[in-house]
Structure formats: C-alpha cells, structure tokens
Amino acid sequence: MIEAVARGGKMKEDLNFFDYWAYEDRPKIEWPNGAKVAFWVAPNIEFYELDPPQNPQRKPWPQPHPALAGYGIRDYGNRVGHMRQMKLLEKYGIRGSISLSVALCDHHPEIIELCKERDWEFFSHGIYNTRYSYGMDEAQERAMILDSIETIYKHTGQKCAGYLAPALSHTEHTLDLFAEVGSELFGDEAGIYTCDLFHDDQPTPVRVRNGKRFISMPYSLEMNDTIVYAVNKVEPRQYGTMLKRHFDRLYQEGAQSGTVMCIPTHNYQVSCPHRMKAFEEALEYITGHPDVWVATGREIAQYYLDNYYDAALADIARKQEA
C-alpha cells in the first residue's frame, strides 16, 4: 500500500495507512485515574534457528554457518535472561506484553507457562525471528499470520491483539492481513493494533482494507535495547539515563494529553548482568512517579479504541478539510 504521487515534478512515496496528523492540538486523551503516561514494557521473547532457510533479501546471521556466537547469546536469553527480567518486572508490578516468536510455544513451553501464570499479554512477532516476511506473497504471509494467532490461542487462550513483524520485516500487505485474519478468527477481540509504524507518542488510527477499527501503538525503536546496545553501542549507564529522560518528556507533555511510553526489551540484551542495574533504576524511577498507568499493550489499545478512536478520526477529517 505504498503510493507514488507526482508533486511538482517529483515523486513522493507515502504509506497509505494513515493521514498526516500533527502532534499538537489533538483531542485530549485522559488515561484511567488521570494518568499522564500509559507505560508498557514489551519483552521480545524470540526463537532463532541455527541454520534457517535462506532469504535472498536478508541474511539471518552475519557469521558463516554455524553461527554459534549469535545463537548462543540468544539461547542464553531464553535460559537465563528471561528469568532475570521476569523477576525484575514482577518486582515493579509490570506485566509484560510479549512480542512472541510463536515457535517458542513448542521449543520452550515452560517460558509460556511462567508468563501465563503472571497474566502477561502475548502478541505475535511471527513464528521464528530468522524467517522474514520479505518476498512472501499474500497467501504465504496470511498463512504465517494465521499460524501465529492460532498458536497463541492454543497455548495461552489469548486472542492475539497486536503484531510486530518478525525481525521488523514487512510487505505492503502486512497490516491488512493481520487485521483481516484477526477478524476472521475472533472478530473485534483480535488483530487491533500494530507496533510496526514507530511514528507517534500516542495511539493513532490506521486504515486497513477491511475497514476494521485498527490502531498504531507507540513502540519506540529509540528505547529498544537491541538498537541501543547492538546498533548504537550505548553504555548501560547512558541507556538508563535515556529511559529516564524519555519518560520525563512524555510525563511533562502527558499533563496536557496522555502519552504512551514503551520499553521494548530482549532477554539476551537488557538481562545481561552488567546491564540490569541501569534498567532496574529506570523502572524504579518511572513507576515511582504518580499518574503513571502501568498496563499492557492490549489494555492501552482497547482503552483508546473505546474512548478516543472516533474523536481522532473526526479531528483528522476536520483538519484534512481545512
């Protein structure tokens, strides 16, 4: 759904899932109990194959086969890091919203059970994080999305609300297919939000071709521990400072209209021993503020859909006409 539009002799590519909608002067959002910030943590609990099928558009491992170093640290995350992060989130009353490689349900069902016991949310991050959407036709991608939603329901009883494409790989049909498959399986209880747009600090309406009420949820790549540690090479102490300053700004702006802060994590990144203290200090700081709604992705998305989605559409239409 990418349109090339000729303007002034130049070609401009736009995502056609939403209209431009400036951050200022929107209808005011009021979170439950007057909270300024809706805060959620999204642990990416993933499964990486040692020798996955090759995709011509992207290599799953930068090292030659077998990529034992990359595989090993990710296995460490599921063996050690998950337990460490789960206990820390529990300490601060945070229920994780899991971006789940659903193959984990078969490979490590004990992790699924531990998260179910704590009433964590499960949303889809594809099947394996070493198999990408790139190059899939609609039928193939639909089958992958269907498999992931059905697997989450089979193992957790949850009707999958959200989607983050595996390894952030997409096609032009991804959002439409997730909304459609969710509706076909569970009506309005599944397929209601995407984390793949990264374009706002508040939930925003997204157009999908079946006309469903569907939104983008704020999911920050800037605060994502893999981006921070593996890409930007930030030190743990600085990451802790970044999380606090990110929160400070959203808390300040949330006094005028509610904002959303998400910390996306990976159990093989933030849960390494030398990085945990900075993460814990940030969680203590954020949850120690009044007027913070500690929630799951589904809870935030559903609250917005029930209370602000229609007002947002009306405001967007009004501004488009002006």
The reply to whether 3 falls in a domain is no
Q: Side chain identity at 128, as an amino acid letter?
A: Y
The reply to whether 238 falls in a domain is yes
Tokens 């030398």 locate to: 274
Q: CA-CA distance, 271 to 162, in Å (whole number)?
A: 24
CA distances to 127, 193, 289 from 151, rounded to whole Å, are 9, 18, 37
**Is residue 157 left, alpha or beta, with left meaning phi > 0 and alpha meaning psi from -120 to 50?**
left
Strands 204-205 and 162-163: unpaired
Q: For residue 66, is the peptide bond before it cis, meaning its omega torsion is within 30 degrees of 0?
A: yes
The total domain count for the chain is 1
The reply to whether 20 falls in a domain is no
pLDDT tens-digit series, residues 307-318: 999 999 999 999
- One DSSP character per residue, 184-201 reads HHHGGGSS-EES-----S
Q: Which residues lie below 8 Å from residue 277, measured CB to CB, with a gap of 6+? A: 236, 240
Question: pLDDT tens track of the chain, all 322 residues?
Answer: 334 333 333 333 466 899 999 998 999 999 999 999 999 999 999 999 998 988 888 988 888 888 899 999 999 999 999 999 999 999 999 999 999 999 999 999 999 999 999 999 999 999 999 999 999 999 999 999 999 999 999 999 999 999 999 999 999 999 999 999 999 999 999 999 999 999 999 999 999 999 999 999 999 999 999 999 999 999 999 999 999 999 999 999 999 999 999 999 999 999 999 999 999 999 999 999 999 999 999 999 999 999 999 999 999 999 988 7
A 10 A CB-CB count for 153 gives 16
- Contact predicate 126/144, CB 8 Å: yes
The reply to whether 208 falls in a domain is yes
Strands 204-205 and 97-100: unpaired
A 10 A CB-CB count for 282 gives 22
Q: CA-CA distance, 144 to 67, in Å (whole number)?
A: 25
161: its two tokens: 């609300």
pLDDT tens-digit series, residues 14-64: 668 999 999 989 999 999 999 999 999 999 999 999 989 888 889 888 888
The reply to whether 248 falls in a domain is yes
Q: Domain range for residue 100?
A: 28-321
**Is residue 187 left, alpha or beta, with left meaning phi > 0 and alpha meaning psi from -120 to 50?**
left
Q: Side chain identity at 131, as an amino acid letter?
A: R
Which CATH number goes with the domain that contains 171? 3.20.20.370
The reply to whether 17 falls in a domain is no
- Rounded to the nearest 5°, which phi and psi values hold at 15? -65, 135
- Rounded to the nearest 5°, which phi and psi values hold at 27? -55, 140
The reply to whether 119 falls in a domain is yes
The reply to whether 125 falls in a domain is yes
